Amino acid sequence: MRSHFDTTPEWARIKYQKMKYEMAEKANQDRKKYQELKEQYINDFIDSIIASEKMNLL
């Protein structure tokens, strides 16, 4: 079974990884702060990738 991540473009994987590292650095080991930053920034990015992939399937 393939995961959604298997079909994600390489540039999106790289950008997502970079964003995670940036958020972790900003959160300074504070899990709650990291989660807040992730919800604020990364989730919007993920939603945009999903929307883009759906458009490519149509």
Residues 3-55 have pLDDT tens digits of 555 667 888 889 989 988 998 999 998 999 999 988 888 888 888 888 888 88
Give the pair of three-digit tokens for residue 57.
């399937």
Predicted TM-score (pTM) of the model is 0.65
Which domain does 43 fall in, by range?
19-57
The pLDDT, as a whole number, for residue 1 is 42
* Those residues with Cβ within 8 angstroms of residue 49's Cβ, 6 or more apart along the chain or in another chain: 8, 9, 12
What is the model's pLDDT at position 44?
87
Comparing 8 with 2, which gets the higher pLDDT?
8
- Pairwise CA distance, residues 28 & 51, whole Å: 31
Residue 5 lies inside a defined structural domain of this protein: no
In a domain, 36, yes or no: yes
What's the pLDDT at 25? 92
Sign of the CA dihedral 48, 50, 56, 58?
A: negative
The count of domains in the chain is 1
